[in-house]
Structure 1
Amino acid sequence: MEARTPADVRRWRRYLADERAEAAVYRDLASRRTGEEREILLALAEAEKRHEQHWLALLGDDVGRPVPGDVRTRMLGFLARRFGGVFVLALAQRAEARSTYDREAFATPTMAADEQIHEEVVRGLATRGRNRMSGTFRAAVFGANDGLVSNLALVLGIGASGVSSQTVLVTGVAGLLAGALSMGAGEFVSVRSQRELLEASTPDPRSAHALPHLDVDANELALVYRARGMAPGDAQERADRVLASLAASGAAGPGTLAHDEPEPGSDGGELDDDHETHGTAWGAAISSFCFFASGALIPVLPYLLGLTGGRAVLVACLLVGVSLLVTGAITGLLSGTSPLTRGLRQLGIGLAAAGATYLLGLAFGTTVG
């Protein structure tokens, strides 16, 4: 092994601190969970403990006093102790992706492989949370972004036409209320309709009771599998197996048709996931209403505070710009992509839409004048 240098010792101490901090994060997350997720998180903490022992063995007498870990890891630990939701798991996923063990000469190949696998484990846990919240989250993100952009565009467009600040304020408040109610109602109808479509596609469990009475020679069960997308030969083979199993057991088990097929969507699991992913109609409606209203309020704030003219426009644009960056960054974190990229993209799209409306307002105001 290469001779250690003071730089090596400093680096190993940072690695040691990070491993301890990451293990603590997983233990904190595990304390807020039960069952399988708790076991998985505790196993990750044990793996980080093994990595910690590696650096302790390398440091030997040079271990010294504990040093603070990476700022991002310490922040992650703070969030894990106080919240512990999918947001923290998404941050932990990104933290695992930042591992440099594959480029560290003193880390073992096993450690580098562990970190790559840890990223996938945390991704799997985060995905569970993302699926549970995705319906409401989609409505919240869409509502907040739409409220920010549409009301900023409305306020800028009306303001640029030359009307009074009072008129701009009234228009902005009216746009907030109308948009929030429209968004809430639209989300309710959309999610309710989507869930009804999914329910209509779910096999009726009562169909299983008809299986013992089917004509084995005709074997119309094969038609069910063909209707679900299986090739005729595969469908016939599957139906024969189901009926043979039924004859051996003497009774149709519950969910024989709903949960015993290998094709996509017919095992019950995927459809259940779809229902979970879309969320509830009321949850989506309330989320959309509240987040649209909160987003639409921001462009109106300068006028509520008494600002007028160009100063009100500038403050409104700055407030909305910061809000778009924040919502984009949060979306990026939760979706596992770059927060900065998503934030800048959302900022660019939002301000471009508002700017176009402002120019139209200027043109309209000039024409009227």
Structure 2
Amino acid sequence: HYGRDVELRQDEDVLDTWFSSWLWPFSIMGWPEETEELATYYPTSFLVTAFDILFFWVARMIMASLHFRDEIPFETVYITPLIVDPQGRKMSKSKGNTVDPLELMAEYGADALRFAMAHATTKGRAMRTPTTQLEDARNFLNKIWNMARFVLMQLGDERPDLPETVTEVEDRYILSRLAATVATVREHLEGYNFNLAAEAIYDFTWHDVCDWYLEMAKVRLQNGSDDGAKGVLYHVLKQIVLLLHPFVPFITEEIWQVLGEDPASVSIAPFPESRATDRDEEAEVAISAFQEAVTGVRTIRVEVNVPADVRVSVIASTETEYVSGTLGATGPALEAMTGSEPWQLVADRDFEPPPGSAQQVFPEFDLYVPLADLI
């Protein structure tokens, strides 16, 4: 390198700046003393880190642990991606391209930041600040808060148990979807797929619960009949709070305190277990037909610009028994969610609709909305 032989000598006053980090897994437990903490908590099982310090820290912790303790300090290393700037560069103070998480928390909230990071993080080397996911997460938490307020308004001081027998198709449906979601979330958490776990909770809460089940339950609750809807609503709300707590601890703890549930904190409550007996494919298929029917009528209303305050007539023709049974059993909800008069069910798909009717065709049924008096 210098064009001649040079004697190299290591400086005696320089120490590896990572030396103390090598010892971290056991030194913080009181080592070299054989403390109670060391006997209890070492070795650990799981380490979270980034790929850029695998050699500087992770490998050296393993070497030091093998040297001083004759065993590895952890069994699993979970490597997270680095947050990079919009140009894909690693963030650093010298470049001035860092993002202050305190500013993000001030704008979106700590829970929204946590959920967005979990939702956006995949198994890779780098990711950009999830701005879109931050906005989505904040909206999602608002949705959860409003859902909890609605349920609590319906319950008052009542804290009903889940009914022993559930007969209404929408109740069976939401309990089936809950059981499937719990199983999915547990599977993804055990596989360290935190983004997929967050996505499963998001989809269940926003779509299955808020978009569909709450709207159907509202109709029953407005009629003043307590046919088990309150018990199912309360059960689903508690399970959502428990599922979400690892991701959004603050809002879930606040809701848990308002519920007045045991134990005293949701952080020490058991994580949900999937109840296989709640899986109900028949109910899920039935509600899928209900969703198609509602979506079909809403599409017709939008396409022909039917005013929101105008109630339409709807004719459904089907030769499939479960479809006719579902549409018949959920009549009040169909009317409320589509702005329609009581539906007419026809057991003949060759049915000739009134002239000037808009049509939506589905695999098991057809929908017709007469428009002659509306256009």
TM-score of the superposed pair, with normalisation by structure 1: 0.27
More helix by share: 1
Which structure has more relative contact order (CA 8 Å, sep 6+)? It is 1
Q: Report the TM-score when normalising by structure 2.
A: 0.27
Pick the structure with more strand per residue. Answer: 2
